[in-house]
Chain A
Amino acid sequence: MDILQIVGLGLAVTFLVLILKERNPVFALLLSMIAGIIIFIMLVDQIQLILNMLSKMAETAHLNNVYVATILKIIGIAYISDFGAEIAKDAGQGALAGKIELAGKVVILVMAIPIMTSIVETVMNLMPQVGGG
């Protein structure tokens, strides 16, 4: 029944924001931001269940723990940067939102460096000794 709570909260906050917007735009923005935060906090527990399942499956499949941790980190970065970018976009700062998203992409690429390196190394090992090795 959590979903009903969240949807009801979202609708209530929507109307409150509509009321506040014409009088006090800054407060309206803060209110919608806090509603987003609270919905996210409600969802974090469920996300934790999913991630626990994922990491258990990875353990069963004898995957390298580093890669799973990296992927989870990447998912977290994607969520959090999207969250920040949406808030900035709501405030009318489209350029700032774009920069936040850019930062998220760059950080994700940096985190993916070890994985990509290992992929390239694996491919090089598979190939016959022609150039590198």
Chain B
Amino acid sequence: MPLDVNTIFQIAGIGIIVAMIQTVLKQMGKDDWAQWVTLIGFVVILYMAATLIGNLFDKIKNVFLFM
């Protein structure tokens, strides 16, 4: 369970840091780089979310007798 809660704060941290990097890069005039950073952060978080959703669906399958 501690690991699960860590994931949430990890994701919030990634989001805030990505937003900061985006702001800095935009001020430097590198808009395309800023977009790439956002995209990569999004993919990383999406991967974590997909893993968690897979876990959840497995558990629900076990609990509710889905075979």
Give me the interface of A with B, judged by CB distance under 8 Å. 5, 9, 12-13, 16, 19-20, 23-24, 26-28, 30-31, 33-35, 37-38, 40-42, 44, 47-48, 51, 69, 72-73, 75-76, 79-80
Q: How large is the interface on B (under 10, 10 to 19, 20 to 34, 35 or more residues)?
A: 20 to 34
Q: Which B residues touch A23, using CB under 8 A?
A: 15-16, 19
Give me the interface of B with A, judged by CB distance under 8 Å. 1, 4-5, 7-9, 11-12, 14-16, 18-19, 38, 41-42, 45-46, 48-49, 52-53, 55-57, 59-60, 62-66
Task: Determine whether the beta carbon of B16 is less than 8 Å from that of A75.
Answer: no
Task: Determine whether the beta carbon of B15 is less than 8 Å from that of A48.
Answer: no
A23 to B38, CA, bound (A): 11
**Majority DSSP secondary structure for residues of B touching A:** helix
Task: Determine whether the beta carbon of B63 is less than 8 Å from that of A76.
Answer: yes
Task: Determine whether the beta carbon of A38 is less than 8 Å from that of B8.
Answer: yes
Q: Which B residues touch A47, using CB under 8 A?
A: 63
